Chain A
Amino acid sequence: DAGVIQSPRHEVTEMGQEVTLRCKPISGHNSLFWYRQTMMRGLELLIYFNNNVPIDDSGMPEDRFSAKMPNASFSTLKIQPSEPRDSAVYFCASSLQGGNTEAFFGQGTRLTVV
């Protein structure tokens, strides 16, 4: 398996624009997580899904953020409108529920909002 695949790796956008980040989890994994990493706040869990259903979105900072998982092999994180303070590295991770196994992380998307 190629691991968790995120795209794009880098994104530079202007304030006010819509940004969509994409994630393909490892085949067979049924839990998916979106994290945001900044110097100031470290790693923050934004939202996670189990069997394509959102379980907890309490980490989503504002209504400008939304996430979907239309099927087991794809998820998106959307920011609309984007703001400079959204600049961060966004990670997607997947795991197998109930297996005491670790979460596998993608390479991340570095977002810069100017």
Chain B
Amino acid sequence: GDSVTQMEGPVTLSEEAFLTINCTYTATGYPSLFWYVQYPGEGLQLLLKATKADDKGSNKGFEATYRKETTSFHLEKGSVQVSDSAVYFCALTDGGYQKVTFGIGTKLQVIP
């Protein structure tokens, strides 16, 4: 079945540091890929997405590129802020029902 593997956290960074959270996937067919973010006490929000190979999703300074050859969708941001502290989930949908398969989530803490 489909699966998503992402680096386990927590990840602690100083403000303005560079962020990378690795994500790889296994899927039959051609999945769409997503990064969701969960702030404390809230539900999941879509951060960015990519629906086909070589697409780059971007939002709020975050970027991720759909790499079919390496089955990866790594999340990056050039300069993190304290307000970016949250849990980040890599996910995919495959097939008509849009069932979302999530990675385990990576907690990011940014310190001033």
A108 to B40, CA, bound (A): 12
A43 to B104, CA, bound (A): 7
CB of A100 within 8 A of CB of B97, answer no
The total of interchain contacts (Cβ-Cβ below 8 angstroms) comes to: 57
Chain A interfacial residues counted at CB < 8 A? 26
CB of B97 within 8 A of CB of A31, answer yes
Chain B interfacial residues counted at CB < 8 A? 22
A42 to B44, CA, bound (A): 13
Q: Tell me the smallest distance from the CB of B51 to a CB of chain A, in Å.
A: 5
Our pick among B44, B98, B104 for the contact of A95 (Cβ within 8 Å) is B98
Q: Contacts A42-B104, A43-B105, A100-B51 known; A105 to B44 CB distance under 8 Å?
A: yes
A102 within 8 A of B: yes
A56 to B49, CA, bound (A): 25
A99 CB contacts on chain B under 8 angstroms: 98
B51 CB contacts on chain A under 8 angstroms: 100
B102 within 8 A of A: yes
Query: Can you list 5 pairs linking A and B with CB atoms under 8 Å apart?
Result: A4-B43, A43-B89, A96-B98, A98-B96, A102-B49
